[in-house]
Amino acid sequence: EVALFYRVSMIDLHLFSYQVIGLFSVLHLLAVFAHDAGSTSSDISGMINGFRIFEVKQETPKQDIQAVGLEDLLKTIKPKKPS
């Protein structure tokens, strides 16, 4: 065995690093599934099965809005008299 730092061999360093990466991967997957289960947008489920839910919030139209056509506005313009 070849020591790398302070009596730590390359084999021990390799074992430790893949355990850290493996633990991080498992915790990351659990966090992803927990986030997807708790949200309403199904981001992760959409990546897996191809179907995504979009939440659409529709605002109620305001009742005090009035529409005026362009033709009606043009009728209100008084033409200038040539001087």
Confidence of residue 77 (pLDDT cuts 50, 70, 90): confident
Name the more confident of 39 and 14: 14
pLDDT band at 29 (very low <50, low <70, confident <90, very high): very high
Q: What is the pLDDT of residue 61?
A: 65
Query: Both tokens of residue 7?
Result: 């009596």
DSSP line for 50-72: S-------PPPPPTT-----HHH
Whole-number average pLDDT of the chain: 80
pLDDT, tens digit, 9 for 90 and up, residues 43-65: 787 887 777 777 777 777 666 66
* More confident position, 13 or 60: 13
